[in-house]
Amino acid sequence: SYELTQPPSLSVSPGQTASITCSGDNLDNRFVYWYKQRPGQSPVLVIYDDKKRPSGIPERFSGSNSGNTATLTISGTQTFDEADEADYYCQAWDSNTYVFGSGTRVTVL
């Protein structure tokens, strides 16, 4: 079965940029989606079709997909918001299955 691999955790200093990776075989042959989940809350879609932002998602969220790795970037042009502390999951589709990565917990130092 297809697998998506994410680092378990990432720590970011205020003002820095967070880059969360998601790896899978020939990942750029398919679209990747990203979800943000705050503790005790439901997931929220933040990126679809590799790099598109849904309405209401700030411009500092961006996505890319190349080769075997997709990346969600939360830019540091503004102070990294504590509201961005969350679990982030990537997702793709393969062989009639919606596949999720294992998630990356992002924390502010």
Partner 1 sequence: EVQLLESGGDLVSPGGSLRLSCTASGFAFNKSAMSWVRQTPGKGLEWVAVISASTGSTNHAASVQGRFFISRDNSKNTLYLQMSSLTVEDTAVYFCAKTRGLERGFFDYWGQGTLATVSS
Contact residues for partner 1, defined by CB under 8 A: 1, 30-31, 33, 35, 41-45, 48, 54, 89, 91, 93, 96-103
Name the minimum Å distance from CB 79 to partner 1: 28
How far apart, in whole angstroms, are the C-alpha atoms of residue 68 and residue 55? 28
Rg of the chain over all Cα atoms, to the nearest angstrom: 13
Name the minimum Å distance from CB 64 to partner 1: 17
User: Which residue's CB is nearer to partner 1, number 10 or number 99?
Assistant: 99
User: Which residue's CB is nearer to partner 1, number 24 or number 101?
Assistant: 101
Looking at residue 91, its amino acid is Q
Name the minimum Å distance from CB 48 to partner 1: 6
* Strand boundaries in the chain, DSSP class E: 9-12, 18-23, 33-37, 44-47, 61-66, 69-74, 86-94, 97-100, 104-108
User: Which residue's CB is nearer to partner 1, number 76 or number 100?
Assistant: 100
